Amino acid sequence: MGETVVKLDNLVKRYGELIALDHFSLEIKEGEIFGLLGPNGSGKTTTINCLLSLLAYDKGSIEIFGKKMTPTSYDIKQQIGIIMQDVAVFDELTVYENIDYFCGLYIHDKAKRKQYVEEAIAFVGLEDFVRFRPKKLSGGLLRRLNIACGIAHKPRLIILDEPTVAVDPQSRNKILEGIAELNRNGATVIYTSHYMEEVEQLCTQIAIMDKGRKIAEGTKDELKRMIKNTETVTIEILELPDAVRSEIENLPHVYETAYIDDKFTVRCSGGRHNLIRILDVLRQNDLSFGRVYTELPTLNDVFLEITGKSLRDKED
């Protein structure tokens, strides 16, 4: 990986008594797709807003491209593209005009801007909608317009704050492919999302934060190695006596079981041949079963295990 693009050092942000960011540090290298994960209220959006100098912070420092980031760091802002969680476009302008307007805030040369705008339109697949006003677009198309407005000026650093919220699978796929392509073209990407499978599919480096602190960081494989769960076995079974369930719970490497809606789930931590041992117990007790499947841990498991399963009702 290349040079450090973003460096957050011991960032502290307080809202009165509430500590939104608690000595939060982060380093993002050039060319990475960096996933920032965390439950609601964990401080993801606060981090992004501090990073963009939309929000003042109490302590710490932020450097982007090796320079201190301030609200008047126009040379740094020139190289950043931002795609907000909410669509931020002008309802009164057409698709083309919206992209041209935002691109024009960065690119002053008309000919170059025209080329960039057309490339952005092609990139997000909005060629057939250039004369449409945003209100005439579907949710997915609107998200794509939002992205086009953020990336038309070809930024070196792209920040996407949950860009696929309320988007259908087809549009989501198109957006994810687009982000990967932007990265292949040389952009460094910071990506926040609640959709674990997106982050797992897209990000090369992931940080999980909770209560304003970074609680884990690494590649997806490194993160998976951090958790207890190594394998989840699920068996469809109509009847499961308590004695049999206890016998399985006492098998080596089994640390958690659940029996809900005729589905028996066994979580194992390390070890080999876990599935064979579980099935052996069922056969020995003359219990018949239906489909059996086994899964390796997902990022979702990592996330839930690290951040806990209790509901978060605070908005980030």
Partner 1 sequence: MFLHNLKYELCCSLRVKDLIIWLILFPMFLGTVFKIAFGSIYEKVDSFSAIPAAVVEVQEDPALHQVLDSLTEGEDALLDVQYVSADEADALLRDDKVKGILHADGRLSLSVTDEGFEQTMLRTFAEQYNANRTVITDCAMNDPAAVPAVVESLRAEWKPVTDLPLSDGNPNYMVVYFTNLLAMVAMYGSITGLHITIQNQGNLSKLGARKCCSPTPKSISLCASLLGSMLVQSVCMVIAVSFLHFILKIDFGSRLGMVYLTSVVGGILGLAFGFWIGSIGRFQTGTKTGICFCVSMFCCFCSGLMVGNMKMIIARFAPWFNKINPAALITDSLYYLNIDSDYSRWSGAMITMAVMTVVLILLGFIISRRKKYASL
Nearest residue to 13 (alpha-carbon basis) of 49, 48, 47, 57: 57
Q: What residues numbered 220-249 form the site for partner 1, per CB under 8 A?
A: none
Interaction between residue 86 and partner 1 (CB under 8 A)? yes
**Helices 95-104 and 110-124, interaxial angle, to 10°?**
130
Applying CB under 8 A, among 2, 66, 71, 290 the residue interacting with partner 1 is 71
As a whole number of angstroms, the distance between CA 220 and CA 14 comes to 30
Interaction between residue 65 and partner 1 (CB under 8 A)? no
CB neighbours (10 Å) of residue 81? Answer: 22
Least distance from partner 1 to the Cβ atom of residue 41, Å: 15
Applying CB under 8 A, among 6, 62, 64, 80 the residue interacting with partner 1 is 80
As a whole number of angstroms, the distance between CA 279 and CA 295 comes to 16
Output the DSSP codes for 79-94: TEEEE-SS----TTS-
Applying CB under 8 A, among 12, 19, 84, 226 the residue interacting with partner 1 is 84
Interaction between residue 105 and partner 1 (CB under 8 A)? yes
Least distance from partner 1 to the Cβ atom of residue 155, Å: 10
Interaction between residue 90 and partner 1 (CB under 8 A)? yes
CB neighbours (10 Å) of residue 95? Answer: 28
Percent helix, percent strand, percent coil in the chain, to nearest 5: 35, 25, 35
Interaction between residue 74 and partner 1 (CB under 8 A)? yes
Question: CA neighbours within 13 Å on the CB side: how many for 38?
Answer: 29
Least distance from partner 1 to the Cβ atom of residue 121, Å: 17
Q: Which string of b and e fits 174-196 if b means at least 16 CB within 10 Å?
A: bbbebbeebbeeebbbbbbbbbb
Applying CB under 8 A, among 1, 18, 88, 166 the residue interacting with partner 1 is 88
Applying CB under 8 A, among 101, 123, 132, 289 the residue interacting with partner 1 is 101
Applying CB under 8 A, among 53, 257, 265, 294 the residue interacting with partner 1 is 53
Interaction between residue 165 and partner 1 (CB under 8 A)? no
For residues 316 and 41, the answer to whether their CB atoms sit within 8 Å is yes
Interaction between residue 149 and partner 1 (CB under 8 A)? yes
Q: Is 9 exposed, middle or buried (0-12, 13-18, 19+ CB in 10 A)?
A: middle
Range list of β-strands (E), 77-230: 80-83, 157-161, 188-192, 205-210, 213-218
Interaction between residue 3 and partner 1 (CB under 8 A)? no
Interaction between residue 49 and partner 1 (CB under 8 A)? yes
What strands lie across the sheet with 263-268, from one edge to the other? 254-260, 263-268, 231-236, 292-295
For residues 275 and 292, the answer to whether their CB atoms sit within 8 Å is yes
Interaction between residue 282 and partner 1 (CB under 8 A)? no
Interaction between residue 54 and partner 1 (CB under 8 A)? yes
Interaction between residue 132 and partner 1 (CB under 8 A)? no
Applying CB under 8 A, among 12, 19, 93, 281 the residue interacting with partner 1 is 93
Interaction between residue 87 and partner 1 (CB under 8 A)? yes
Interaction between residue 118 and partner 1 (CB under 8 A)? no
As a whole number of angstroms, the distance between CA 219 and CA 16 comes to 35
Interaction between residue 25 and partner 1 (CB under 8 A)? no
Interaction between residue 26 and partner 1 (CB under 8 A)? no
Residue among 153 and 220 whose Cβ is closer to partner 1: 153
What residues line the site for partner 1 (CB under 8 A)?
49, 52-56, 70-72, 74-75, 77-78, 80, 82, 84, 86-90, 92-93, 97, 101-102, 104-106, 108, 149
